[in-house]
Amino acid sequence: MVVEWMLGSWLLLLDWLIRLVALFWIPARTTPGAARSWLLLVGFVPLLGLPLYLAFGHPWLSRQRLQRQAEASQVIREEQALQDALRWQPRADTATAEIVPLVECQGDFMPVHGNAVDLLTGYDDALATLIADIDQAEERVHLLYYLMFDDAVGEAIVEALQRAAARGVHCRVLLDAVGAKRGLRAYRKRLLARQIDVRAMLPGGLRWRRSGRMDLRNHRKIAVIDNRVGYVGSQNLAAAGFVPGHPNRELVARVRGPAVAHLEAVFASDWYIETGQRLDVLVDVPVSVDDVPTQLLPSGPAYPFSNARDAVNALVHLARRRLVLVTPYFVPDEATLSALRIAALSGVEVQLILSASNNQRLTAWAQEAYYDELLRCGVRIALYEPHFLHAKHLSVDDDIALLGSINLDIRSFALNAEIGLLCYDSALVQRLRTIEADYLAQARPVQLEDWRRRPAWRRSREGIARLADALM
């Protein structure tokens, strides 16, 4: 009995010691919103909560990776200083003139003119176009993707790379170690046998300390072929139905012009961060007569600031008439939620388009917890029904569009390496408006009165899921 009493006393002491340590340790190293979630978890289950926080609570990267990102950023800025003729100057006293310096200061890339941007909405057509461009490659093919599956699409991409390598084209492939695990396992040896350089980004296992926190991921989707054409968007290298019951609908931008060199620079930066090898970037890119001004927005934990979050929030605040946001995962932080609320209450028409189906149940429950507040402020919410809407883009008034891999959730803002393409062109925004109108024509609007009739158990579920927003 004495031994049991002493053991119980020690466990109780340890239990409260963990709580006290967490109370002083976590808020000093984590944002207030995330700290509340972690302290709640530690408070309920201390022996489990603290080890989980130590493993996943702070989005740390190794010093080597942070240093390499800083070096890559410096090179990008120095190279652009020699190409001032390509810089695009926005008109003064416009929303564009305000967002451009923020994006350049945080993400390194200046806005450039002379680009052509094609918006590809057909899933199979976008892949077929990418493969056709790979088949025309003469010098290099660089692919950087979060996810690659061992399915018909993965096989088609591998065969296109093999054909290119047989012609003497230098092919490099960067795949996220977790998202593309199936593709790496199925195709790595086969590609290496054809002298195609394949690397896994942010590997785990015994090498995790040279990478960073285990759940940090590279979520970018980029393809660059020669100095001729680049791709950026939401689509992975997998069949549309790679998640059973959730066939994807995507949006991809096919880019020509100086922006291709900037996409190549992002690839070269990630290659250097992962391998330590420096690649030459082909900067002599032909200017397109379409002359769409663009600016790249890379973001991720290797940067000093939350680039994606800051840019999205700035764009929301800069909207004066209409703002449309499309995302599959909507779990905003307080700053983004506040920006949307202020915009709607200020008279901006704010339209949020989400997917009616969702392949991540906890995220779906958490995002539903925000509907009531947003609807009360005048934000319109529509749920797209035919497919899993995996596209990620937003449009501001009539002259700014942002598209790429960035979700409107805390994971994209703080944990993932992401890429966005800003386009400052009214004709392109109008094309994007047409795509948004097609979504809305096939979407179910959420009405505040109907939403409030949902059962009490669903409200409780949403509230509990929202508490875990910083843990997703």
Q: Mark whether 18 and 88 lie in a shared domain.
A: no
Long-range Cβ contact pairs of 7-10 (< 8 A, separation 24 or more): none
Q: Mark whether 289 and 313 lie in a shared domain.
A: no
By mean pLDDT, which of 138-147, 235-244, 317-326 is the weakest?
A: 235-244
Rounded Cα distance, 252 and 435, in Å: 12
Domain containing 6 equals 2-56
Rounded Cα distance, 181 and 77, in Å: 34
Q: Mark whether 51 and 80 lie in a shared domain.
A: no
The answer to whether residue 190 is domain-embedded is yes
Give me the DSSP letters along 312-353.
HHHHHHH-SSEEEEE-S-EE--HHHHHHHHHHHHTT-EEEEE
Q: Mark whether 48 and 178 lie in a shared domain.
A: no
Contact 50, 16 (CB under 8 A): no
Question: pLDDT tens across 326-365, in order?
Answer: 999 999 999 999 999 999 999 999 999 999 998 888 889 9
What CATH number corresponds to the domain at position 391? 3.30.870.10
Mean pLDDT of 388-396: 97
Q: Mark whether 175 and 232 lie in a shared domain.
A: yes
Question: pLDDT tens across 79-116, in order?
Answer: 998 888 899 999 998 999 999 999 999 999 999 999 99
Residues in the chain: 472
Question: pLDDT tens across 437-462, in order?
Answer: 999 999 999 999 999 999 999 988 88
Q: Mark whether 324 and 440 lie in a shared domain.
A: yes
Rounded Cα distance, 285 and 264, in Å: 11
| Domain count along the chain | 3
